[in-house]
Amino acid sequence: MKYGVNIAIVIGTIKELEFSQQSNDKRFYHGRLSCERLSGTSDEIRFIIEENVLKEIGFDYEGKRVQIRGQYLSHNERIEGTEGSHLKLFVSVQNIMEVEVSTPAKNELVLEGYLCKTPIVRETPRGVKICDLMIAINRRSHGKSIASYIPCICFGDLAVYMGDQPMGSELTIRGRIQSRAYTKRTAEGTMMERIAYEIAAYRIQVENDDLQ
């Protein structure tokens, strides 16, 4: 089984951090990082960090500007009170360092994996082509082979190109972690605000092809 590259490097401001769980003798925290775009809006990036790694910047986290490096992973989380689940996406932090408050934001991701669903091409009301992709990335964890499933989107000519790629195609993706708010109607008919997380790809290499 091929284990692909999975590198996430992000610079932003910590907005939230709290204890999550203990596994054997290790304690883990989950948090939320705000990473500004050039447009002035910000992406919310969720992360999980082991306590011994977190000690590198201390526990007085509020408002700290940090650089984190790790892997972008996913797991299915059960929805309480139902038989359903949803895909939770997060950076698994391998190292963290505090930076100056004035340090520009950074949001870079490189993934190697394969298409595990048929690409879907759609068009916005303004005529922009968008392609939805689901990428599987294999890795080893505690001696076992597991996969993270990462939703990605791409635009324009790249979207049209990717829409013709078959399932199983091996890909290398460069992009950024993106969050966007949307409204969803519940089973009871009420409207609920939700946040979607995905990778906005700006360059994709398909086996020996390369398009950006």
Domain boundary assignment for the chain: 6-103, 110-211
Mean pLDDT to the nearest integer, 115-134:
94
pTM of the predicted model as reported, rounded to 2 decimal places: 0.87
The Cα-based distances of 99 to 9, 35, 73, 123 in angstroms read: 13, 14, 24, 40
Mean pLDDT to the nearest integer, 24-52:
92
Q: For the domain made up of 6-103, give the CATH fold.
A: OB fold (Dihydrolipoamide Acetyltransferase, E2P) (2.40.50)
Same-fold call for 6-103 versus 110-211: yes
Mean pLDDT to the nearest integer, 179-192:
73
Which helix (H) or strand (E) segment is 10 a member of?
Answer: strand 6-23
pLDDT given at position 84: 57
- If you average pLDDT over every residue of the chain, what do you get? 88
Contact between residue 108 and residue 42 where contact means Cβ atoms under 8 Å apart: no
Q: What angle do CA 3, 156, 38 make, to 5 degrees?
A: 80
pLDDT tens digits, one per residue of 57-108: 887 887 899 999 999 999 876 655 555 567 889 999 999 999 999 999 999 9
Architecture of the structural domain at 110-211: Beta Barrel (2.40)
**DSSP H helix total and E strand total for the chain:** 2, 12
The Cα-based distances of 110 to 23, 31, 57, 105, 157 in angstroms read: 28, 22, 25, 17, 20
